[in-house]
Structure 1
């Protein structure tokens, strides 16, 4: 789904579609995990870039969280720039009208609540002031003050919020080490 403005990279890992651990293809650093109020944590694990916790709380208000719980609890969700991606293990390339009704119902339920997201601005982006010539001013000049109408930062996300930091997953390593140990034990018998 196309969003009105770029937002920080946020991932909602749906707990209901996980098997042994998360089903996401990437693992994220634990320090980026944010606990939200209510029973949201029983349905999703939310990851946001370090320093963007307050922004995630602004974006995921109780009414937005309720929409995600009610309509998208089976889906993993990722915000990348000005796109919201919904991921599912279910086959969605289908002619089944019930599947399409379910998908369009999710999109409709979520988009009706995204008006607030269009007003979000990253305070880490400072507007670049311009002098009378319209070119950026030299530091220390009087034109360093923000121009009228540029008090609010422009739409966009600072580099620190554009992507989550990934971490390695230990499951493949444990599996390989376990297989090697079993193979060695079998060879010794």
Structure 2
């Protein structure tokens, strides 16, 4: 769809995977699980119903693999209460999620071996970046209920033809 060379994608995915520390939950297995779930959600409802365009779909996949990039293992409340450098840098607003986005983008832009979007039109790059930022920031648990309600509403509408899919989504979220 975007003519991104396969080797560049493999380099990028490998490098992102290396950025997931070995901690009990926010690790590369968790990232793979979220990526898989995103794929299922996209291809079992949203994409068939025309809810997503190609650039947004790419943003969903990239946000899924980057959503906990370089996670320290501490939650936002802990980072804020201890006045960690991340909390200070991001003014106590979603320090983990802001770090995941900034860290992943810093990595992806740091080398031509990972810079997958360099040949995209500027407008597409901006749409892609906005989607990734919005999706990763939405993983802050303080925003979880509002995001879950919105997602359920959109996904249930897209899956009106299959009640089982809507029930699965309501159970997961």
Normalised by the length of structure 2, the TM-score is: 0.31
More helix by share: 2
The structure with the largest alpha-carbon Rg is 1
Normalised by the length of structure 1, the TM-score is: 0.29
Structure with more relative contact order (C-alpha pairs < 8 Å, separation 6 or more): 1
More strand by share: 1
